């Protein structure tokens, strides 16, 4: 037999993706507008001196690279799950309108600086974005929830419609906003990872960990679900429970990523497709590999975004779309 996916195979393959991810995580913090040398950082750590380079390394680069990794991983993970749950290869973490809701929340917070809702590690914009994303997900889930099953078609249509509605409301908010607020809104809407310190990471993890946990726990069932709900039920999958946990888990992970980094396109769409081409269709490999590769990709894109036009920087959303768009078109035409 050519081989079925065994635990050993999963571990070996995940190690390969992990190695790639570690490599990106190790190299990326040393690349950027300001040169940070390894020797300087090591020296400062051992001699308890604090050079400006070391400060940049620990308070800007490391948290930023970690955030990029976690956000990229979250989006790719959620994308791979939404594609199978919604039975649509074009589904992304944003298909359910969660991003639209998050973005609406964020622009409302930017429009009303006096609002200043802060809670724990969350800033006002992050909190309202999270609230918007959560409300959207709840609304869509409520709309699509039927007495006997969750209709994937209804979910998809409801998600797209809510996304369009949020888009219209965002335009309305922008219409009301003064020019300097418009700049801030645009900046957020382009997606970005420019954080300082570890506060944003602290805000990300409480949602990311349970959400990702829910998704990874279900990964043995997704292959069967790909053969259709009835077939999966016949195989013994508790389909409703898998769908519910996946929607909540995927929603949490997306909401966490969007509330902190804004909408970053293509990672959630392209990474799962690339992994399927490289490592097959088994979701027990697809999920961990998507998380690791999604993280790696966003770290790489963010590094480009930080260095290409240094000393300023480009929003990372532009780079991911510029890399992701052509790649996806290539995939589409290769399929034919």
Partner 1 sequence: MSNSLLEIENISYTYTQTEWQLRDISLRVNAGEIMGVIGPNGAGKSTLLKIAAGILKPDAGSIMLLDEPIQNLERRRIARILGYLPQNVTSLFDYRAEEVVAMGRYAHARGLGFLDHNDIAVTKRCLEQTQTMEFRDRSLSHLSGGERQRVLLASVLAQEPKILLLDEPTAGLDLHHQVRFFELLAQQVPQGLAVVVVTHDLNLASLFCDCLVLMQAGKIIHQGTADQVIQESILGTVYPGNIYIDTHPVHGQPMVLPLAKRNDIDKEGDPA
Residue 143 or 233 having the CB closest to partner 1? 233
Residue 1 or 176 having the CB closest to partner 1? 1
Q: Interface with partner 1 by CB under 8 A: which residues?
A: 1-2, 4-7, 10, 83-84, 87, 89, 148, 219-221, 223-224, 226-228, 230-231, 233-238, 276, 281-282, 284
State in angstroms the smallest separation of the CB of 325 from partner 1: 23
Residue 61 or 276 having the CB closest to partner 1? 276
Residue 16 or 231 having the CB closest to partner 1? 231
State in angstroms the smallest separation of the CB of 226 from partner 1: 4
Residue 2 or 336 having the CB closest to partner 1? 2
State in angstroms the smallest separation of the CB of 159 from partner 1: 18
State in angstroms the smallest separation of the CB of 218 from partner 1: 9
State in angstroms the smallest separation of the CB of 275 from partner 1: 12
Residue 87 or 187 having the CB closest to partner 1? 87
State in angstroms the smallest separation of the CB of 80 from partner 1: 11
The 3 state secondary structure assigned to the chain is CCCCCCHHHHHHHHHHHHHHHHHHHHHHHHCCCCCCCHHHHHHHHHHCCCCHHHHHHHHHHHHHHHHHHHHHHHHHHHHHHHHHHCCCCCCCCCCCCHHHHHHHHHHHHHHCHHHCCCECCECHHHHHHHHHHHHHHHHHHHHHECCCCECHHHHHHHHHHHHHHHHHHHHHHHHHCCHHHHHHHHHHHCCCCCCCCCHHHHHHHHHHHHHHHHHHHCCCCHHHHCCCHHHHHHHCCCHHHHHHHHHHHHHHHHHHHHHHHCCCCCHHHHHHHHHHHHHCCCHHHHHHHHHHHHHHHHHHHHHHHHHCCCCCCCCHHHHHHHHHHHHHHHHHHHHC
């Amino acid at each position: 037999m050519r081989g079925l996916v065994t635990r050993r195979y999963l571990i070996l393959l995940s190690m390969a993706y992990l190695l790639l991810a570690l490599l990106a995580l190790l190299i990326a913090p040393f690349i950027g507008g300001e040169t940070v040398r390894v020797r300087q950082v090591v020296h400062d750590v051992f001699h308890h001196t604090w050079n400006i380079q070391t400060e940049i390394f620990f308070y800007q680069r490391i948290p930023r690279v970690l955030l990029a990794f976690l956000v990229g991983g979250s989006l790719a993970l959620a994308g791979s799950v939404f594609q199978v749950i919604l039975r649509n290869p074009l589904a992304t973490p944003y298909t359910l309108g969660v991003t639209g809701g998050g973005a609406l929340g964020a622009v409302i917070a930017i429009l009303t600086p006096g609002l200043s809702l802060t809670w724990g590690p969350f800033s006002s914009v992050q909190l309202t974005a999270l609230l918007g994303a959560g409300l959207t997900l709840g609304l869509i889930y409520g709309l699509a929830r039927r007495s006997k099953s969750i209709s994937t078609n209804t979910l998809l249509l409801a998600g797209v419609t809510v996304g369009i509605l949020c888009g219209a409301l965002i335009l309305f908010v922008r219409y009301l906003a003064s020019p300097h607020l418009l700049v801030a809104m645009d900046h957020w809407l382009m997606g970005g990872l420019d954080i300082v310190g570890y506060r944003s990471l602290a805000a990300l993890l409480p949602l990311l960990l349970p959400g990702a946990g829910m998704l990874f726990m279900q990964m043995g069932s997704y292959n069967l679900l790909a053969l259709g709900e009835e077939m999966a039920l016949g195989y013994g999958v508790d389909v409703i429970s898998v769908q519910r946990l996946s929607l909540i888990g995927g929603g949490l992970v997306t909401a966490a990523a969007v509330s902190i980094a804004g909408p970053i396109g293509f990672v959630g769409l392209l990474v799962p497709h690339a992994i399927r081409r490289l490592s097959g269709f088994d979701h027990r490999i697809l999920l961990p590999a998507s998380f690791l590769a999604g993280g790696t990709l966003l770290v790489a894109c963010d590094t480009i975004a930080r260095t290409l036009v240094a000393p300023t920087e480009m929003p990372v959303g532009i780079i991911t779309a510029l890399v992701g768009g052509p790649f996806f078109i290539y995939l589409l035409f290769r399929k034919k």
